[in-house]
Structure formats: structure tokens, C-alpha cells
Amino acid sequence: MTTLSARVLPLRFGSRRAARLVERNILVYRQVWGVLVSGFFEPLFYLFSVSVGLGELVGDVVLASGEVVSYTVFVAPALLGASAMNGPVFESFGIFFKLKYAKIYDGVLATPVSPHDVALGEITWSQIRGALYAGAFVLVMLAMGLIESWWGLLLLPGAMLVGFAFGAVGMAATTFMRSWQDFDMITLATMPMFLFSATFYPLEVYPGWLQGIARFSPLYHAVDMLRAFTLGILDWSILGHVAFLMGMVLVGLTIASRRVEKLLLS
């Protein structure tokens, strides 16, 4: 077995013990860097397909504010939000493997690392991985001229918050999974969010009852926030979106750390 001994992280942020989980993931993924690179392409393919195909067919979109934007500009920040959601959520597959089969955390908890450190470290790693994808996506948006405001500088921090929120909730959900088949429930939750969170159409075109449901979708809060940064159309609702996502972080991290403690120490 290969010993992962090289130090690659100074361990100066947050919990030093949680940072060791992040460092371990970095060391592991250095050996399988192709897995990381592959994650860049899926959202970019979506964006290019919208730009050269569907965007030409649909044309312009009239927003609730009355502003008219191209369909590609409308969809791009939504795809960024969806990418920031999917990366951390599907990272939960790896967490499940380490928890149930590889028994990585059993060995980790034999050290001074606590269940809270395990949860925070894994969520932070999934957020870092998502930030790499989001950064590449934002650069492509910039190169394609899809960012129409200097508020676009907040796109990357915003996407990182989205990734942190979904990473926390994703890890919390993973601790309740009993087998690989249970992950179908994650797909069942994320697919409707992807389709009905004002991702591809303005919220106003939905039936009234569906608008109410969509406003409770976590991805809707992410999409609306990132779209506002892209277009430079900000109002006080942004604070509500940020508060909602921060609430997801706190609730997800609390549940995940308590569940890890119960599963591994009881």
C-alpha cells in the first residue's frame, strides 16, 4: 500500500484536523487527476449546446424586470448553479464508499480527528472540487461575453457558497444511505430541481402553483442569485438567497457530524 506522506497543505484554515481530510483527498486525487479533469466538461457541453443550438431557436428572453437578454445569457448562470450543485452532491458517492466499504473513517477516528472534523473536511473538499469546476465555467462565460456586469466578480464566491450548501446536505443525506440503490433518491431529488428551478425558463412562465413550489427549491435560490450577479440586477432578495444557502450549510454540517459520530462511535 502506498504511503501518502508528502505535505501539500499548510493546514492554516479552519480546523487543522479537518484540513487533514482535505489534504488526504488532494493526495489521492493527484494519482487519479483524470477524474477531476472530466468534471470540467459536462457543464461546458451544456453551455455550448445552448449557445449554438437552442439559443438560436429561442432567441431573447424578457425578464420580470423588463430587461431583454439572449437565451444563452439567461441560461448560463443557471447551468453554473446546477454544476455547483451536482459536483458536491455526486461526491457523496465517494463518501458513501469510504464510510460503508473502505472503512476509511474508522481509522481516521482512531486519531485526534473528531466526527465534526470528518464532516467538515469532506464537505470542504467537495466544495473545493466544485470551485475548480465553477472557476473554469466562469472563465468560459467571460470568454463568450455572457457576463454583463461587474457584479459578475461575485459569481465564483457565489458558486462556492452553492457548492458548500449542497455538499453539506449531500453528506448529511449520505449518512442515511443503506446501499447504492438508495442513491436513486438523490437523483429523484436533483432532477426536478434542475428542470423546475427557473433554470431554463423565467419563473413567471410557470403555472402559479408551480411557482410557489419552485421558490422553495434550493437550486432556485442559487440560480436566481447567480443570474442577478451575471446581469447586474440586484435587490434585497439576494440576502434571502444567501441566508437560505447558509442555512443549508449549518443544517447539513450539523446533521452530518452527528450522524458520523453515531455511525462510527456507537
pLDDT at 9: 41
Is the pLDDT at 259 greater than 60? The verdict is yes
Distance between CA atoms of 173 and 255, rounded to whole angstroms?
9
Of 50-54, 113-117, 133-137, the one with minimum mean pLDDT is 50-54
Distance between CA atoms of 108 and 117, rounded to whole angstroms?
10
Residue range 162-188: mean pLDDT, rounded: 88
pTM: 0.84
The confidence band for 77, taking pLDDT boundaries of 50, 70 and 90, is very high
pLDDT at 38: 66
Straight-line distance from the first to the last Cα atom of the chain, in angstroms, rounded to the nearest whole number: 29
Q: Flag whether 6 is in a domain.
A: no
> Where is mean pLDDT largest: 14-23, 107-116, 120-129?
120-129
Instruction: Give the count of domains, the chain.
Output: 1
Mean pLDDT, the chain, whole residue set: 83
In the chain, the percentage of residues whose pLDDT exceeds 90 is: 27
Q: Flag whether 168 is in a domain.
A: yes
Residue range 130-138: mean pLDDT, rounded: 85
pLDDT higher at 266 or 189: 189
Angle separating helix axes 71-100 and 155-174, nearest 10 degrees: 30
Query: Is 119:263 a contact under the CB 8 Å cutoff?
Result: no
Q: Flag whether 83 is in a domain.
A: yes
Q: Flag whether 206 is in a domain.
A: yes
Residue with cell 443549508: 248
pLDDT at 10: 41
Q: Flag whether 10 is in a domain.
A: no
Is the pLDDT at 265 greater than 80? The verdict is no
Residue range 149-174: mean pLDDT, rounded: 92
Q: Flag whether 30 is in a domain.
A: yes
Of 40-54, 62-76, 111-125, 214-228, the one with minimum mean pLDDT is 40-54
Q: Flag whether 3 is in a domain.
A: no
The confidence band for 252, taking pLDDT boundaries of 50, 70 and 90, is very high
Query: Is 125:94 a contact under the CB 8 Å cutoff?
Result: no
Q: Is 175 helix (H, G, I), strand (E, B) or coil?
A: coil
pLDDT at 161: 94
Is the pLDDT at 242 greater than 80? The verdict is yes
In the chain, the percentage of residues whose pLDDT exceeds 70 is: 90
pLDDT digits (tens, 9 = 90+) for 4-47: 444 344 433 345 777 787 888 788 777 766 666 666 677 778 78
Residue span of the structural domain in which 50 resides: 16-265
Q: Give Dmax (Cα) for the chain.
A: 61
Distance between CA atoms of 246 and 121, rounded to whole angstroms?
17
Between the CA atoms of 233, 237, 243 and 246, what dihedral angle is there, to the nearest 10 degrees?
-40
pLDDT at 42: 72
Is the pLDDT at 82 greater than 80? The verdict is yes
Angle, vertex CA 22, rays to CA 85 and CA 191, nearest 5: 15
Sequence-ordered list of residues with C-beta below 8 angstroms from that of 28, at least 6 positions apart, any chain: 4
Is the pLDDT at 243 greater than 90? The verdict is yes
pLDDT digits (tens, 9 = 90+) for 192-240: 999 999 998 888 888 988 998 999 999 999 999 999 999 998 889 999 9
Q: Flag whether 9 is in a domain.
A: no
Long-range contact pairs involving 182-190 (C-beta distance under 8 Å, separation at least 24) = 183/92, 183/93, 183/96, 186/89, 186/92, 190/85, 190/86, 190/89
